[in-house]
Amino acid sequence: MVTAQSLDTKIRNRAVFLDRDGVINRAIVKGGKPYAPRELKEFRLLPGATAAVQDLKCSGFVIFVVTNQPDIGHGLIDPQALERMHERLRERLPIDDIRVCPHRQDEGCMCRKPRPGMLNSLAEEWNIDMAGSYMIGDRESDINAGKNAGCKTILIDRNYAEGCSVKPNFRVRSIRDSIELIQF
């Protein structure tokens, strides 16, 4: 018989939430601002990303990609092209789930980072202990989403012109560097 008390003692999973562009694949930087690739030929994994994600997976973390993709809402990328990019990620990285916010910045949806909607829905679905989990991103919206969801946050500092005014738990230069900070 399952009781409320036995549910409270159920072991919860720890996760690493990864932003996509600028964290595991190259962002296209124009004028100091990062943009998502719009074609599969532009979609390139960053050096060390595959090994870093594999290390996290082997250490027992559930791995998620959470990505804002407003170019869908703006009609600048075909959703099938985006899905082909994500198929490539699934082929090369041990990712448990990918969540996409396709909305434009002005739509006010709950899933768009810095709101924690994508992270919270994954946490509920996968029984995630948010206090023991990490959000790794390269922009302020990623760090705010992680903080809003109750995760530890790691900023991969790419020196974008927009900067980051919020303080992450950690600041690093690459996803590989972030692995050394994560408590296994």
Identified catalytic residue from 8, 19, 55, 177: 19
Is 8 an active-site residue? no
Domain count, the chain: 1
Q: Give the pTM.
A: 0.92
- Which pLDDT band holds residue 9 (cuts at 50, 70, 90)? low
In a domain, residue 10? The reply is no
Is 106 an active-site residue? no
Buried b (16+ CB within 10 A) or exposed e, 39-51: eeeebeebeebbe
- Which pLDDT band holds residue 180 (cuts at 50, 70, 90)? confident
pLDDT tens for 42-84 read 999 999 999 999 999 999 999 999 999 999 999 999 999 999 9
Identified catalytic residue from 21, 71, 138, 142: 21
The CATH number of residue 106's host domain is 3.40.50.1000
Domain containing 146: what range?
15-179
Task: State the DSSP code for 182.
Answer: S
In a domain, residue 2? The reply is no
In a domain, residue 148? The reply is yes
